[in-house]
Structure 1
Amino acid sequence: MRLLLIRHGQTPSNVGHLLDTTAPGPGLTELGEQQAAALPERLADEKIDALYASTLVRTQLTAAPLAQARGLEVVIRDGIREIAAGDLEMRGDAASNDQYQRVAFSWPAGKPELRMPGGENGVEMLARYDAVIEEIAVSGVAAAAVVSHGAAIRTWSAARAHNLDADWAIAHPLPNTAVVVLEGTPATGWTAVTWSDLELPRTEPQPGR
């Protein structure tokens, strides 16, 4: 299966560097709307059989132009929402953002038991994301697009793709509407093909990945 993980378009909270993770969340800025409108043309060469978005408004608004262009229904699932910021919610200072990323990226680095202050741990976050990807896989579609969130995409991809790790995810932030393309299945594992248009080297699956 080919899986396209798409970060949502720009929001006011992105502009303010705020840790804004609760539903329903903000809508898109004017630039974010333009980014969403550009997705159908950007993905014109991609086969997409199913389209998913999280329970946050910004992903659904981002998915809407693609859904209209492809004649697809947007399936809404809570499991692909952003990593809950917990006690750090709506903070925009550098220390809070650093702490959020430090905890999130510790999960694919082998410490999924660590918990976001007042929020979820990696076991919980990866399990909810896995459940949605499993649902997509068992539906039998050949290709699916999932409009999700930057930290969630980076963390899940680093934890599940054979050829990615936490260091890669830390060093490569995803701009709004960036796409991570993976191929595989939950049973056989995943290989990242591209990361925000950057082609990735493919490696053999590693034990436990």
Structure 2
Amino acid sequence: MELVAVRHGITAWNLERRYQGQQDIPLLFPEAEDGLLALRDALAHERFDAIYSSDLSRCQQTLAWADVAKAGVPLVLEQRLRELDFGEYEGKVYDELKDLPHYRAWIDSVGELQIPGGESAAQLRERLGAWLHDLALATNGRVDGHKKILAVTHGGVIRELRRRFETIHFWDGTVLQAQGRRWQLIYQQDDHGKGEWQCSSSSAVPALANVTL
């Protein structure tokens, strides 16, 4: 399977450096337009077998601008592709949180602690893992054994997918708005029927001088 995951375009809260989480913040225009047009150009000749999008409006708006949905291609609004639930941190900036002991502990844990009223990184990985398992089931019935998937999602989601497929450090997994990653994946099962996606290559979207990792 080829999985292309892209982050939504710029919002006002992105520019203000506020934790958005699962707040339904729309794109900001005209600031978002350049990135969205570059993403549209990058995906102009792509043909996807299925498209998944976070159900939050900033992702649905990004998908509409990307203009990749074609007749007969299934589109699924997928809550499991939502951003990490930042709980009490949502709507706040670093300066409002930096002196709180639980916030400092969360930063020191590289996101592994559960946010008050929100999620931990492990909980995000769990729901993404369930979604990836469903993708394995969806591709299993294809004669050619291949499927090309687009997912329009959030920065935290792509960070966790990069950690899973590229085995990079938490702080190295950031992607900018209206950008993303492309992974070539193979689903492998052991003798007990337990399966896992293995990544054979990863590259930036839009492409950066044909460099792969």
Normalised to the residue count of structure 2, the TM-score between the two structures is 0.76
Q: 1:15 to 1:106 in 2, by over 3 A?
A: closer
Q: Which residue does the alignment assign to 1:80?
A: 81
Q: Distance in 2 between matches of 1:103 and 1:151?
A: 17
Q: Distance in 1 between matches of 2:104 and 2:30?
A: 30
Paired letter, 1:8: H
Q: 1:59 to 1:99 in 2, by over 3 A?
A: farther
Q: Distance in 2 between matches of 1:85 and 1:100?
A: 14
Is residue 198 of structure 2 the alignment partner of residue 190 of structure 1?
yes
- Tell me the CA shift for residue 28 of structure 1: 3.5
Q: Which residue does the alignment assign to 1:136?
A: 135
Q: Distance in 2 between matches of 1:27 and 1:52?
A: 18
Stretches of structure 2 that go unaligned for 5 or more consecutive residues are 140-145, 188-194
Larger radius of gyration: 2
- Tell me the CA shift for residue 193 of structure 1: 1.1
Normalised to the residue count of structure 1, the TM-score between the two structures is 0.77
| 1:125-181 Cα shifts (integer Å, max 9, x gaps) | 1111122222233222611010111122112320x21x3222xx4135211111111
Q: Which residue does the alignment assign to 2:143?
A: none
Q: Distance in 1 between matches of 2:5 and 2:27?
A: 19
- Tell me the CA shift for residue 101 of structure 1: 7.9
Q: Which moved more, 1:43-52 or 1:172-181?
A: 43-52
Contact 1:3 1:145 in 2 (8 A): yes
Partner-residue secondary structure (3-state), 1:30: coil
Q: Which residue does the alignment assign to 1:180?
A: 181
Paired letter, 2:137: V
Contact 2:51 2:151 in 1 (8 A): yes
Q: 1:64 to 1:100 in 2, by over 3 A?
A: farther
Q: Which moved more, 1:149-158 or 1:11-20?
A: 149-158
Q: Which residue does the alignment assign to 2:5?
A: 5
Identity %: 24
Stretches of structure 1 that go unaligned for 5 or more consecutive residues are 108-113, 202-209
Question: After superposition, where does 1:1-209 map in structure 2 within 5 Å?
Answer: 1-67=1-67, 70-71=70-71, 72-94=73-95, 96=97, 102=107, 105-107=110-112, 114-140=113-139, 142-158=147-163, 160-161=164-165, 163-166=166-169, 169-185=170-186, 187-191=195-199, 192-196=201-205, 197=207, 199-201=211-213
- Tell me the CA shift for residue 23 of structure 1: 4.0
Matched residue pairs, number?
191
Q: 1:36 to 1:133 in 2, by over 3 A?
A: farther
Q: 1:8 to 1:54 in 2, by over 3 A?
A: same
- Tell me the CA shift for residue 117 of structure 1: 2.8
